[in-house]
Chains A and B, each alone.
Chain A
Amino acid sequence: MNRYAVAAIYKFEMARMKRTIFQSILSPVISTSLYFIVFGSAIGSRITEIDGVSYGAFIVPGLIMLSLLTQSIANASFGIYFPKFTGTIYELLSAPVSYFEVLLGYVGAAATKSILLSFLILATAGLFVPLEIAHPWWMLLFLFMTAISFCLFGFIIGIWADNFEKLQIIPLLVITPLVFLGGTFYSVNMLPPFWQTVTMFNPVFYLISGFRWSFNEIADVSVMISLAVISGFLALCLLTVWWIFKTGYHIKQ
């Protein structure tokens, strides 16, 4: 194990976050606050309660997921795409590192960032609504598994993308809609039956449901199903990464 290399990559990626501190930290804090002002206060004052919790508290897990998913993908995909774009990847390719070590450095750093960010959003949310976490260990489990899987997913996108457009298209066209339609701002029971059925095909719905359950025991589906979905997605991403490394897809000529 080339631990110096893992540490070097990890440190490099974390330094990149420090350089873009405003973009990385301030922007999610501001957008979370805005969500609370717009949804929590303006709309929440009309909805008041969902399944016995205030609307403000109801949207907290979904809001964290929203940032966790988009930031995990953005950070991890950019981290590996950028060296390809600038050409500095030559160094990574000629270094005595295994693919696993590369993955550990990049995905580890990206996951650290998005987990830190989630706590930051949680703290920001705490300024607006009283926080209650019924099952903290479950909460952390969902947080870590989601961060790691979506960072892996971002890593895959970063390797696949050969231009900036491709880098942004999946988060924009797939992830954001899935999160918004996955019950961040509403309970699935509030939808007409047809849309309830459609929602069942949205994987993000299961993540939000499980994550919300760990906060206030409100869930649209059993927490075990949520756990199974996130485990399945993690396995799928690992398998894809393994295949990419095995075939050298989009990495080597």
Chain B
Amino acid sequence: MSEILQPIIQVTKLNKIYKGGFQALDNISLTIEQAEILALLGPNGAGKTTLISTICGIIDPSSGTITVDGKDIISGYRHTREMIGLVPQELTTDAFETVWDTVSFSRGLFGKKPDPGYIEKVLKDLSLWEKKDNKMMELSGGMKRRVLIAKALSHEPRILFLDEPTAGVDVELRQDMWQLVKQLRENGVTIILTTHYIEEAEAIADRIGVIKNGQLILVEEKSTLMAKLGKKQLLLELKQALTELPPELETFELCLKEDGRHLVYTYDATREHTGIASLMQHLSQAGIQFKDLKTDQSSLEDIFVSLVKESI
């Protein structure tokens, strides 16, 4: 293995227009590094599933190129697909097959020699060992989701796609899943997950990409993005100009504009307690009155708001 890390996935100017003429992906370019966890965040219908389905070869791109491990996904499909494991969004399973059979089937399909020991390990890691002889139709939704993960891991992929992995999943499985994802990443597996919950992206991703209407609006390190996303400003127009901030307001992140007539309060909109109520109280206690107030949010905030709405 060379130490020069070429991007594990490189998407260049990718477009997807479905048969009906609907453009689901609009000129997407994206570089994914080895062993990172990338969260693709976006509301329903943004194009997340379309994007990862295209990388996995399920959907044909209309134009643009995708390389995985340096190989084109169409001309080099054998190599690129062997590297990828996909956990689909829908719980699609073969009702009559046993857990053991369906996971072993996946391993074979992806070109790997049978290895019962490895399958056993995967099933145990996912708390599925007791269910190995059960038919898929006998399993609960959460268990089915685990089986789909086991199938995706059955051929020891270097890249794992998780499409909305926690939609409709109980807390326990969610915890297990994050545990697993982190463990896989430590072993050098690259993980791409989609979600429309900002909290989920925040919880485990290294980088976050935001998709809306088929466009990749931005891709940033999580910390950078969260800082940008959370901030909101409240502008207060005062009745009487102030020369300086009263000391009792020092605990707030306030800034007095030069004219002395405007106060700017910067707060974290993602928090439950924004501090606005408390600020108001302190202002009135200090006898400061204001004529008008307004809030400012960036276009990022709009995205954020729409995401929050989606998840309710």
Contacts and interface: CB of A to CB of B under 8 A. Distances in A.
Nearest to A83: B94
Contacts of B101: 12, 15
Given A96-B81, A96-B82, A253-B18, A5 B94 contact: no
Given A19-B96, A96-B77, A96-B81, A90 B58 contact: yes
Interface in A1-31: 2, 4-5, 7-9, 11-12, 15-16, 19
A96 B74 CA distance: 11
Contacts of B88: 87, 90
A95 B109 contact: yes
A4 B78 CA distance: 13
A95 B82 CA distance: 7
A12 B105 contact: yes
Nearest to B98: A15
Contacts of A92: 109
B55 to A, nearest CB: 9
A52 interface: no
Nearest to A86: B92
Contacts of A252: 58-60
A99 to B, nearest CB: 11
A123 interface: no
B257 to A, nearest CB: 55
Interface in A160-198: none
Contacts of B80: 96
Contacts, number: 81
B56 interface: yes
Contacts of A8: 104-105, 107-109
A2 B78 contact: yes
B58 A94 contact: yes
Contact of A5 (B57, B92, B95, B109): B109
A12 B108 CA distance: 11
Interface stretch (B5-13, B110-118, B225-233, B297-305): B110-118
A248 interface: yes
Given A2-B78, A8-B105, A87-B90, A94 B56 contact: yes
Interface in B107-142: 107-114
Contacts of B57: 93-94
A97 interface: yes
Interface string A71-115: 000000000000100111011111111000000000000000000
Interface of B: 18-19, 53, 56-60, 77-82, 84, 86, 88, 90, 92-97, 101, 104-114, 151
9 closest cross-chain pairs (CB), A and B: A8-B108, A87-B92, A96-B81, A94-B56, A4-B108, A96-B78, A93-B58, A95-B109, A2-B111
Given A12-B97, A90-B92, 10 more contacts: A4-B107, A8-B104, A8-B109, A15-B97, A91-B106, A94-B56, A96-B111, A97-B111, A252-B60, A253-B60
